[in-house]
Chains A and B, each alone.
Chain A
Amino acid sequence: MVSTVRPADHRVPPARRGPAGRQRGPGAGRQREGLAAYVFLSPWLLGLMLITAVPMLLSLYLSFTNYDVLTPLSEVEWVGGANYRRMFTADPSYWHSVQVTVTFALIAVPLKLAAALGVALLLNRVFRGVGLFRGLFYLPSLLGGSVALAIVWVSMFNRDGAFNSLLAVFGVEGAPWVNDPRWALETLMLLAIWQFGAPMVIFLAGLKQVPVELYEAASVDGAGAWRQFVNVTLPMLSPVIFFNLVLETINGFQGFTSAFVLSNGTGGPVDSTLMYTLNLYIKGFVELDMGYASAMAWVFLLTIGLITVGLFSTGRIWVHYSDAGEQ
């Protein structure tokens, strides 16, 4: 996806083209450029070290300790793999939060992408107002991650919220969705799906890249709308589907705000919305068990890494890259 350093195609030694009197060897110019580059890069390098690398190593170390914030760092106790052992064998809440998170991602991500693709297909025409539609469908993606919207969503699916009022009109008696362990996570999934606008916009851009000739050829061969969708649109769009899938899966695993708001930070009702990140927050910042939380963070990181690698390796099978799609 990313082409890194392209060799500069204009390597004209400054000594030859430069104004007279300022001649110097090509090595000096490059050295100077290298130095300048590191000056420009210095904030980023500092951030990489202080904000990313050092904390990562620190948390790796802490994951083998019983650090709890209150005792000074110099007095922490090395506990070996105890945190990891506890996580995998002795902490039911851990596996429960894994299950909640995986369920959430497995259901919400495909449905969100399906909604995004469906609406993108409907919008992939030139007509008046198409820009307005696109914008309005995108709006929930801008607002949906906020606390404010999570609050609205939770109220909407309360026992006496708008959704049940609506059901009552049709004579259906609703459940207290957000307070019912069987339904609480589903309402959060719905909130995630509601934000289908961002992947939709990316799908739309992908659809615009599909050459019209392919549809014409398929049409000449007698392919109907469905056959065209399956045999032209889907393969041509597969790189974009893949991109959205990776992005949304990684996002899906990190859902925090809505679960926090629904459960007031507890993961309830009955741990039904205990997303992994919420569990990590509770362990680290409520119970102050930071050694354990660090271990959880590292397992999370490795899992996300493995899932990404996994997605990329399955991508080799079903993602179709053509020259036309890469323009």
Chain B
Amino acid sequence: MPHPTAPPPPLKRLKARPLLRLLVLIAILALVLYPLAWMVGTSVKSPQEIADNIGLLPREFTPSNFADGWRKFDVNFGRFFLNSAMVALLTVVGNAVSCLLAAYAFARLRFRLRGVWFAVMIGTLLLPGHVLIVPQYILFRSLGWVGGDWPYLPLLVPQFLATEAFFVFLMVQFMRGIPRELDQAAKIDGASTFAIFRYVILPLSRPALVTTAIFSFIWTWNDFFRQLVFLSDLEDYTVPVALTLFIDSTSESAVGPMFAMSLLSLVPVFLFFVAFQRMLVEGINTSGLKG
């Protein structure tokens, strides 16, 4: 710490300050990461150790929590993971395609009522999903989609109809950055609106598509509310819904397996984080700020 009466020379000050800053940051980071480390540690502890070992690391490595958790319910977690993966991947496809189409119209084409529709789209950005879930449930149920032959229709159909306005908005913002001269050049060469979309806008929109894909995967993978409402049979459950089954069985022996499965369920999100960290961080900036 610099002495109050004799301020240290600038050079020394420059060195002390960053060190202090770094120490504070490391302390905060340790605090922030502690729950995650604790989750990892607990997932390989025996019931006995979960009760009495407060350290992060287990004295005795107990990987059997994973096997126990995997087979804990009548349907094993392999099925739940497959269900989740299917829902998430189809959501990615649905969002990417439908939002891109809508965004192209908003960003590049002139049509009647464009301003009105755009304002409506922005309005739906702020619409809380919880407001719509009751009538959507009623609607989908009357169509025979809830608990029907393929119970994922209520989760997936909206995703193919560009209802995630956030992604439409993100793509519109991105496309506005693509130089108009490219469209013009293609137009002069006789390209149709569809050809311009296919050969100019689509290839250049790849970064926005990747951002959309990553965020829709992570959000769908983590989503709980809609999956809870629309999935009713155990074998149709996705991972988040299945995890809540652990809460019912509160016995001590279930804690380890519960943590093991919780940890496993976060692995895909974590891998996305490792692979696309930069993009994710920048993704929320482009979508959030450049409006």
Interface residues of B in 175-197 (CB under 8 A from A): 180, 184, 187-188, 190, 192-194, 197
Q: Are A40 and B163 in contact (CB under 8 A)?
A: no
Assembly CA distance A96 to B275 (angstroms): 44
- Among B124, B197, B278, max chain A CB count under 10 A is at B124
Q: Is the CB of A256 within 8 A of B224?
A: yes
Q: In the complex the two chains form, is A58's CB within 8 Å of B240's CB?
A: no
Docked-complex contact B138 and A5, CB < 8 angstroms: no
Q: Check if A136 sits within 8 Å of B32, measured CB to CB.
A: yes
In the bound complex, residues from chain A placing their C-beta under 8 Å from that of B97 are 43
B280 interface neighbour in A46, A138, A162, Cβ under 8 Å: A138
Question: Do B25 and A54 have beta carbons less than 8 Å apart?
Answer: no
Known: A32-B193, A166-B54. Is A297-B126 also a contact (CB below 8 A)? no
Q: How far is the CB of B25 from chain A (nearest CB, A)?
A: 6
* Contact status of A202 and B288, CB under 8 A, knowing A18-B188, A40-B102, A300-B130: yes
Q: Which residue of chain A lies nearest to B121 when distances are taken between CB atoms in the complex?
A: A44
Docked Cα-Cα span, A247 to B138, in Å, equals: 29
Q: A21-35: contact bitstring with B at CB < 8 Å (1 yes, 0 no)?
A: 010000000101110
Given A55-B132, A254-B128, does the pair A5, B118 have CB atoms closer than 8 Å?
A: yes
Q: Which residues of B248-265 are within 8 A (CB) of A?
A: 248, 255, 258-259, 261-263, 265
The distance in angstroms between the C-alpha atoms of A119 and B272, with both chains bound, is 24
The contact of B32 among A41, A194, A285, by CB within 8 Å, is A194
A169 near B54 with CB under 8 A, answer yes
Q: Which residues of A contact B133 (CB under 8 A)?
A: 284, 297
Contact yes or no, A202 B224, CB < 8 A: no
Interface range for B: 35 or more
Closest A residue by C-beta to B104? A40
Which stretch in B2-10, B33-41, B59-67, B205-213 binds the other chain? B33-41
Chain B residues near A62: list those with CB within 8 A: 134-135, 138
A308 interfacial contact with B, CB 8 Å:
yes
Segment with Cβ contacts to B, from A81-89, A104-112, A120-128: A120-128
Chain A interfacial residues counted at CB < 8 A? 106
Residues of chain B within 8 A (CB-CB) of A261 are 244, 247
Contact count A vs B, C-beta below 8 Å: 293
Asked if residues B135 and A40 are in contact (CB atoms below 8 Å), the reply is no
> Among the listed A44, A156, A160, A298, which residue makes an inter-chain contact with B102, where contact means beta carbons less than 8 Å apart?
A44
Which residues in B have their C-beta under 8 angstroms from that of A14?
A: 187
Q: B193 contacts which of A12, A36, A47, A52 (Cβ < 8 Å)?
A: A36
| A70–B11 CA distance with the chains assembled, in angstroms | 77
Q: What are the residues of chain B within 8 A of A243 when measuring CB–CB?
A: 288-289
Q: How far is the CA of A260 from the CA of B244 in the complex (A)?
A: 9
**By the criterion CB–CB under 8 Å, are A285 and B285 in contact?**
no
Q: Are A37 and B105 in contact (CB under 8 A)?
A: yes
B51 at the interface (CB under 8 A from A): yes
The answer to whether B114 touches A5 (Cβ under 8 A) is yes
Q: In the assembly, what is the distance between CA of A55 and CA of B140, in Å?
A: 10
Is the CB–CB distance between B109 and A151 below 8 Å?
Answer: no
Contacts of A17 in B (CB 8 A): 187-188
Pick the contact of A43 from B98, B110, B244, B289 — CB < 8 Å?
B98
| Set A55, A146, A165: member contacting B54, Cβ < 8 A | A165
Closest residue to A11 on the B side, CB-wise? B110
B22 at the interface (CB under 8 A from A): yes
- The answer to whether A290 has its CB under 8 Å from any CB of chain B is yes
Query: Given known contacts A44-B168, A59-B134, is B248 in contact with A8 (CB within 8 Å)?
Result: no
Beta-carbon contact of A52 and B124 below 8 Å: yes
Q: Does A220 contact B (CB under 8 A)?
A: no
Does A214 count as interface, using CB distance less than 8 angstroms?
no
Which residue of chain A is the closest to B240 with respect to CB atoms?
Answer: A147
Question: Counting CB contacts under 8 A, is B83 at the interface?
Answer: no
In the bound complex, what is the Cα–Cα distance between A127 and B25 (angstroms)? 12
Q: Return chain A residues, CB-CB under 8 Å to B199.
A: none
User: From A40, which residue of chain B is reached at the shortest CB distance?
Assistant: B105
Query: Taking the nearest CB of chain A, how far is it from the CB of B41, in angstroms?
Result: 9
Given contacts A133-B29, A136-B29, are A37 and B190 in contact (CB under 8 A)? Answer: no
Known: A48-B120, A69-B138, A243-B288. A59 touches B110 (CB 8 A): no
In the complex, are the beta carbons of B269 and A43 less than 8 A apart?
no
Bitwise, A203-216 to B at CB < 8 A (1) or not (0) is 00110000000000
A87 to B161, CA, bound (A): 34
Whether the pair B224, A48 counts as a contact (CB closer than 8 A) is no
Confirm or deny: B73 has a beta carbon within 8 angstroms of a beta carbon on chain A: no
In the bound complex, residues from chain B placing their C-beta under 8 Å from that of A148 are 240, 243, 261-263, 265-266
28 sample A-B contacts, Cβ–Cβ < 8 Å, listed by A number: A37-B109, A41-B111, A44-B102, A44-B161, A47-B98, A48-B124, A50-B139, A55-B136, A122-B21, A133-B25, A134-B281, A143-B36, A147-B239, A147-B240, A148-B240, A149-B262, A151-B246, A155-B258, A201-B285, A202-B288, A243-B288, A257-B224, A257-B225, A261-B244, A264-B244, A281-B225, A301-B128, A304-B126
Residues of B within 8 A of A (CB): 18, 21-22, 24-25, 28-29, 32-33, 35-36, 38-39, 42, 51, 54, 97-99, 101-102, 104-106, 109-112, 114-115, 117-122, 124, 126-139, 141-142, 157-158, 160-163, 168, 180, 184, 187-188, 190, 192-194, 197, 218, 221-222, 224-225, 228-229, 239-241, 243-244, 246-248, 255, 258-259, 261-263, 265-266, 269-270, 272-273, 277-278, 280-281, 284-285, 288-289, 291
Closest 9 CB pairs of A and B: A47-B161, A55-B135, A165-B54, A148-B262, A37-B111, A44-B102, A37-B109, A59-B135, A44-B162
